[in-house]
Amino acid sequence: MLVIKGLTKYFAKNTPHEVLAINNFNLRVKKGDFITIIGSNGAGKSTLLNLIAGALQPDQGEIRLDGKIITYQPEYQRARWIGRVFQNPLLGTAPYMSIEENLALSLKRERRGLRLGLNKYLREYFRSKLSELELGLEKDLAKKVGLLSGGQRQAMTMMMATMFKPKILLLDEHTAALDPESSKKILKITEELVEERKGDLITLMVTHNMKQALELGNRTVMMDRGCNIFDIQGEERKKIDINYLLKQFSKLRKQEYIEDRMVLG
């Protein structure tokens, strides 16, 4: 169970450029939930994922995972349970290291010591895992990742984010920078990997694609100006379509705007 309570994050606090990126955000996520997150540019989606992963620290609020408060735990410690894939395929892998080295780094996430990072059992394991991606990456494990295409790198990052059996998977528009074909492939891999862990993985996927947002997962959250403005799941969610979502979005935005005006006025 992931519980987010009253989470608030400012950028450039107390300066003329102050931005309230996350505004008293609340969310309770059950084990097995696959939430798609939508919202316009600058709504705070990436910031939310960064706060959950520990790459950013909030100004207020609390994040709990299975009852334990992790709000201020450093990013590298949370990495034991959190797998991430970023929008930019270049961010998730180390270009001058080989495929097998990248995979080895992602598998061993704590207490790194003086044991060899790679051995023949690991290589065998990587080969079998990579062949499931059907991209031919298993043929040359020593190849530098920088020589791969964006789609291949993103597929590797997907594998690196799930292979170690995380509790939480954070996907931030992870297909947005890819060509349509690679994008489809990565989505398929995403569904397969999440399916494999059905029931005990929490997945948060940010997407710009409303269709994706309703087709994937079991729950959809809409964000605007750092708030959770709309949250739908179950039977109710199955009934709605993109048009409904869009209408809902402009309605809620307007309402919020009016409320803001009332507070200010």
Ligand X SMILES: Nc1ncnc2c1ncn2[C@@H]1O[C@H](COP(=O)(O)OP(=O)(O)O)[C@@H](O)[C@H]1O
- Answer whether 227's CB lies under 8 Å from 24's CB: yes
Applying CB under 8 A, the residues found at the interface with other proteins are 53, 55, 74-77, 79-80, 82, 84, 91-97, 101, 104-106, 108-110, 112-118, 144, 160
Pairing type for strands 219-224 and 2-11 reads unpaired
- The correct pick among 36, 46, 93, 203 for binding Mg ion (CB under 5 A) is 46
Task: Report if residue 19 touches ligand X, rule: CB under 6 A.
Answer: yes
Cβ at position 265, least distance to ligand X in Å: 24
Cβ at position 39, least distance to other proteins in Å: 23
Task: Report if residue 225 touches ligand X, rule: CB under 6 A.
Answer: no
The neighbour count for residue 41, using CB atoms within 10 Å, is 6
Tell me, rounded to whole angstroms, the distance of Cα 260 from its chain centroid. 30
- Answer whether 249's CB lies under 8 Å from 241's CB: no
- The correct pick among 2, 21, 103, 201 for binding ligand X (CB under 6 A) is 21
Task: Report if residue 47 touches Mg ion, rule: CB under 5 A.
Answer: no
DSSP state of 147: G
Cβ at position 170, least distance to ligand X in Å: 12
Q: Token digits for 260?
A: 């803001």
x/- letters, 26..45, toward ligand X (CB under 6 A): -------------x-xxxxx
Decide which of ligand X, Mg ion, other proteins, none touches 19; Cβ closer than 5 to 8 Å per partner kind: ligand X
Decide which of Mg ion, other proteins, ligand X, none touches 43; Cβ closer than 5 to 8 Å per partner kind: ligand X
Helix or strand run (H / E) with residue 256: helix 242-264
> In angstroms, rounded to a whole number, what is the distance separating the alpha carbons of residues 42 and 37?
13
Residue closer to other proteins (CB basis): 6 or 74: 74
Task: Report if residue 12 touches ligand X, rule: CB under 6 A.
Answer: yes
Task: Report if residue 207 touches Mg ion, rule: CB under 5 A.
Answer: no
> In angstroms, rounded to a whole number, what is the distance separating the alpha carbons of residues 150 and 106?
18
Q: Token digits for 119?
A: 């051995």
> In angstroms, rounded to a whole number, what is the distance separating the alpha carbons of residues 156 and 150?
10
Decide which of ligand X, other proteins, Mg ion, none touches 163; Cβ closer than 5 to 8 Å per partner kind: none
> In angstroms, rounded to a whole number, what is the distance separating the alpha carbons of residues 64 and 28?
10
Q: How far is CA 3 from CA 21, 44, 128, in A?
A: 19, 18, 36
Cβ at position 143, least distance to other proteins in Å: 12
Cβ at position 173, least distance to ligand X in Å: 8
Q: State the residues that interact with Mg ion by CB under 5 A.
A: 46
Q: State the residues that interact with ligand X by CB under 6 A.
A: 11-12, 19, 21, 39, 41-47
